[in-house]
């Protein structure tokens, strides 16, 4: 158990999630660094946090699988204590292609990780945070994408649509749990310098697109983490149901 407020970051082992984990630990959270496959990457983030005097725990779980989500939250209950902040960050995209070529397997995989996963994690968090259940309240931040507004034509409309669903969950859940002491907000990052673009089959996607971004460059993951952690902080105490675009002007 930890005396520090507890934050669960899904997909905390790489990219935006890892930047958020390091920053959150530096700001006094005990951080659960969730990952799906890459245990070494999660261990590296935990190692960095511990070297800096922080508290962190790596927990493997596929957010798309209900039994694994249940085990994730039970592990955190036991090892760190009651969750105060959930960052629904884990997300995937698949190879760039038009909708006309997408098969059902791909659509199910993308929706399972990007929509069902955040719903399951939010459910477990609400059950623990709700003042209606004797909880102490809390905050959920959903990591969406500017793709929800732009649609990602010719690349991954399925991914964009999954983030649209996540945005709607942010709006609806925020209203549902506001009176239970829980705030729910979203961040829509623009193009950010992580490995996710390689999953789309174009590791150099940033080079191709950065001049179309009004700020003329991709975001550093830490720039997205700042927005996530502001929404998670008491400084955002009157902000709920909001979705913050962090897209460099896109
Ligand atoms: P990333 O570098 O590809 O990292 C993805 C992280 O999610 C990894 O830690 C990965 O763990 C984990 N993950 C993937 N599927 C999972 C699952 N089913 N269960 C648990 N963990 C899972 O991605 P990123 O670019 O940092 O993206 C983070 C979030 O920001 C995503 O929701 C993404 O859609 C969103 N976003 C990113 C960008 C961008 O340009 N990078 C822009 C807008 C929005 P393993 O390594 O173990 O698989």
Q: Is 41 in the pocket of ligand 1 (CB under 6 A)?
A: yes
**In the structure, how many helices (H) and strands (E) does the chain have?**
10, 7
Residue 17 CA to ligand 1 center (angstroms) comes to 7
pLDDT digits (tens, 9 = 90+) for 177-229: 999 999 999 999 999 999 999 999 999 999 999 999 999 999 999 999 999 99
Q: Which atom of ligand 1 is closest in space to residue 199's alpha carbon?
A: 3
The verdict on the CB of residue 13 being under 6 Å from ligand 1 is: yes
Q: Is 88 in the pocket of ligand 1 (CB under 6 A)?
A: no
Which pLDDT belongs to residue 1?
79
Which residues are CB-contacts of 87 (< 8 A; sequence separation ≥ 6)?
A: 7, 8, 9, 10, 12, 17, 20, 140, 141, 143, 228, 232
Distance CA 250, CA 80 (A): 39
The CA distance from 191 to 204, in Å, is 12
- Rounded distance from Cα 52 to ligand 1 centre (Å): 24
Atom of ligand 1 nearest to the CA of 113: 18
DSSP secondary structure code for residue 42 in this structure: H
| 3-state DSSP assignment of residue 50 | helix
The alpha carbon of 179 and the centre of ligand 1 are apart by a number of angstroms equal to 31
Nearest CA to ligand 1 atom 7: 11
The pTM assigned to this predicted structure is 0.98
Instruction: Note if 238 is an active site residue.
Output: no
Q: Which of 8, 9, 12, 14 to mutate to test the pocket of ligand 1 (most atoms within 8 A of CB)?
A: 14
Give 134: exposed, middle or buried? Use CB within 10 Å, 0-12, 13-18, 19+: exposed
As assigned by CATH, the class of the 6-246 domain is alpha beta
> Could you report the per-residue pLDDT of 40-90, keeping only the tens digit for each?
999 999 999 999 999 999 999 999 999 999 999 999 999 999 999 999 999
Which residue's alpha carbon is at the smallest distance from atom 46 of ligand 1?
Answer: 38
Mapped onto helix, strand or coil, the DSSP state of residue 56 is: strand
Q: Summarize pLDDT for 94-138 with one digit per residue, the tens.
A: 999 999 999 999 999 999 999 999 999 999 999 999 999 999 999
Of all protein residues, the one whose alpha carbon is nearest to atom 23 of ligand 1 is 196
The CB of 10 under 6 Å from ligand 1? The reply is yes
**In this structure, what are the phi and psi dihedrals at residue 34, rounded to the nearest 5 degrees?**
-85, 150
The string of pLDDT tens digits covering residues 134-162 is 999 999 999 999 999 999 999 999 999 99
Closest CA to 53 of 11, 81, 77, 22: 22
Q: Whose CA is nearest to atom 24 of ligand 1?
A: 15
Nearest CA to 52 out of 81, 23, 92 is that of: 23
CA dihedral 55, 60, 23, 175 (to 10 degrees): -110
**Nearest CA owner, ligand 1 atom 33:** 91
- Distance, CA 10 to ligand 1 centroid (Å)? 8
Instruction: Provide the percentage of residues in the chain whose pLDDT is more than 90.
Output: 99
d(CA 240, CA 237): 8
Half-sphere exposure of 8 (CA within 13 A, CB side): 36
Pairing label, strands 83-88, 243-246: unpaired
């Amino acid at each position: 158990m930890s005396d520090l407020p507890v934050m669960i970051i899904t997909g905390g082992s790489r990219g935006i999630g890892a930047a958020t984990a390091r920053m959150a630990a530096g700001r006094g959270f005990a951080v659960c660094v969730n990952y799906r496959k890459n245990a070494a990457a999660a261990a590296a983030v935990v190692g960095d946090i511990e070297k800096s005097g922080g508290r962190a725990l790596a927990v493997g779980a596929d957010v798309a699988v209900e039994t694994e989500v249940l085990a994730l939250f039970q592990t955190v209950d036991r090892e760190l204590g009651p969750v105060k902040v959930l960052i629904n960050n884990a997300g995937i995209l698949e190879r760039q292609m038009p909708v006309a070529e997408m098969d059902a397997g791909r659509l199910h995989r993308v929706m399972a990780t990007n929509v069902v996963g955040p719903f399951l994690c939010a459910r477990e968090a609400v059950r623990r945070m709700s003042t209606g259940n004797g909880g102490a309240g809390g905050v959920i931040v959903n990591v969406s994408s500017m793709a929800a507004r732009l649609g990602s034509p010719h690349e991954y409309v399925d991914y964009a649509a999954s983030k649209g669903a996540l945005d709607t969950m942010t709006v609806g859940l925020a209203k549902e749990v506001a009176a239970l002491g829980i705030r729910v907000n979203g961040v829509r990052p623009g193009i950010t310098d992580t490995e996710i673009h390689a999953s789309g089959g174009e590791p150099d996607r940033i080079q191709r697109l950065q001049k179309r971004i009004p700020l003329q460059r991709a975001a550093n993951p830490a720039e997205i983490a700042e927005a996530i952690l502001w929404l998670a902080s008491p400084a955002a105490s009157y902000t709920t149901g909001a979705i913050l675009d962090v897209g460099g002007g896109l």
